[in-house]
């Protein structure tokens, strides 16, 4: 691992380190479980979009080496999503399976959150070089699920905040994703035109 990669690795751990630091004092506030749930959820989305920024950045800057950071960012997005999920199952629901099942069936934003996690899981599992080789062309197809996971991730956040009729924050995440998608669609359209 080179120095830049190591720095990125450490940087991606900072949000978690901050939570541990806050947990040492009163810093997690009146509702600590709510705080760490929201924090890990936000960081999962941020890192997911950081992952999706790598390819556009690479093409715009021409720095080919950027591609080498994509997997780590993606895995950290999954890491924070896993923490988010673990906090819900453990510290919020205390492994109460019937309650969790009811939650998934009756609360759309939980349903969507679960589906999002389910979509990210195969991506994380097939992130190794060996899996890339084994899947060949199907690897890229499979990993297009990241777009669906992004849409659902934002929707999960949106639906959660909709109760306060206050969707500014999820709208910002939505805009970030829309931009990342728009760049790709533009390039795709350009390539179609060039082929003609």
Residues that bind another protein in the complex, under the rule CB under 8 A: 23, 26, 28-34, 36, 91-92, 94, 99, 102-103, 106-109, 159-160, 163-166
Residue 116 burial (C-beta neighbours within 10 Å; 0-12, 13-18, 19+): buried
CB of 113 to another protein, least distance (A): 12
Distance of alpha carbon 86 from alpha carbon 92, whole angstroms? 9
Comparing CB distances to another protein, the nearer of 31 and 141 is 31
* Residue the block writes with tokens 């021409």: 62
- Helix H or strand E encompassing 72: helix 70-87
Comparing CB distances to another protein, the nearer of 32 and 68 is 32
Comparing CB distances to another protein, the nearer of 7 and 96 is 96
CB of 43 to another protein, least distance (A): 17
CB of 80 to another protein, least distance (A): 16
SS3 (DSSP) at 2:
coil
């Amino acid at each position: 691992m080179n120095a830049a990669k190591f720095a990125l690795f450490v940087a991606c751990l900072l949000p978690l380190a901050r939570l541990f630091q806050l947990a040492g004092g009163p810093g997690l506030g009146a509702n600590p479980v709510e705080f760490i749930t929201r924090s890990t959820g936000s960081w999962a989305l941020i890192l997911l979009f950081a992952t999706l920024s790598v390819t556009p950045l690479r093409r715009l800057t021409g720095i080919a080496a950027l591609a080498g950071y994509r997997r780590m960012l993606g895995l950290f997005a999954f890491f924070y999503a896993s923490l988010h999920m673990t906090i819900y199952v453990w510290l919020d629901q205390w492994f109460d399976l019937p309650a969790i099942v009811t939650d998934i069936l009756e609360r759309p934003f939980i349903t969507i959150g679960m589906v999002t996690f389910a979509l990210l899981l195969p991506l994380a599992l097939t992130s190794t070089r060996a899996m890339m080789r084994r899947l060949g062309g199907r690897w890229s197809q499979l990993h297009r699920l990241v777009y669906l996971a992004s849409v659902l991730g934002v929707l999960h956040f949106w639906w959660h905040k909709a109760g306060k009729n206050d969707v500014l924050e999820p709208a910002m995440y939505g805009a970030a994703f829309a931009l990342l998608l728009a760049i790709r669609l533009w390039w795709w359209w350009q390539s179609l035109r060039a082929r003609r």
